[in-house]
Amino acid sequence: MSLDRDDVVRRTAEHVRRALEGEPSGHDWWHIYRVWRSALAIAEGEPADRFVVELAALLHDLSDRKLNGGDVTLGPKVAREWLAAQGVDEETVAHVCEIIADLSFKGAGVPTPMRTREGMVVQDADRLDALGAVGIARTFAYGGHKGHVLHDPEHPPVLHATVESYYAAPATPINHFYEKLLLLRERMNTDTGRRIAQGRHAFLEEFLDRFLAEWEGRDGE
């Protein structure tokens, strides 16, 4: 009997929602949902396998290293276990797990190229959710979840040259803008991703200008 791909996607979405609903750091089900929808929209203009795109988007944060104790291998592992149990073929499983393993930002000086068009689509969708109004909200949600101070001007942002330094560095939400978020526009893979990122990037800049003015006691106008 052939695999019902739509049913696998439906069951995967339900599985991820049960696992992540209510997660407070900004890596919750609704983050997954937005990335899923964005990935589908981007894929419409790309020669990409929709099934791979949907599965990778849905499963990409099922076990994020920021929330699982730092284990970067666990995300692909739990995705593989789930997909194998659904009867998904090994080629598709391997492709989805490769995307999950390679997806994340790893520091300003660390290239994170995606080998396949499907990976490029999902990476763009994930990065778009770190930009704009939602990206700002998620940044502060994560900072609060981790107990980070809001802003510390005595510790300026660092453009990390290695993944080790990026993972190990102490963070503030405001430094995160400079160390990651403002760099994403130039790292988009697709025309659609670049177009959407442009407006969301501009919103980040406007917010930062206002925030830093108010931090210094000015009205920001």
pLDDT tens, position by position, 103-128: 998 888 998 999 999 999 999 999 99
Q: Return all residues near 157 (Cβ < 8 A) that are at least 6 apart.
A: 174, 175, 177, 178, 179
Q: Is the pLDDT of residue 220 over 70?
A: no
Structure tokens at 33: 């949902």
Give the pLDDT score at 74.
Answer: 86
Mean pLDDT of the chain: 93
Structural domain boundaries in the chain: 5-215
CATH topology classification for 5-215: Hypothetical protein af1432 (1.10.3210)
Q: Is the pLDDT of residue 1 over 80?
A: no
Question: Are 200 and 132 contacting, i.e. CB atoms less than 8 angstroms apart?
Answer: yes
Query: From CA 141, how far away is CA 173, in angstroms rounded?
Result: 9
| pLDDT, average across residues 139-155 | 93
Residue among 183, 213, 212, 208 at smallest CA distance from 197: 183
Residue with tokens 């598709």: 92
What is the tens place of the pLDDT at every residue in 148-165? 999 999 999 998 889 888
Rounded to whole angstroms, the Cα distance separating 77 from 120 reads: 21
Task: Tell me which H or E stretch contains 193.
Answer: helix 191-215
Is the pLDDT score of 170 beyond 80? no
* 159 SS3 class: coil
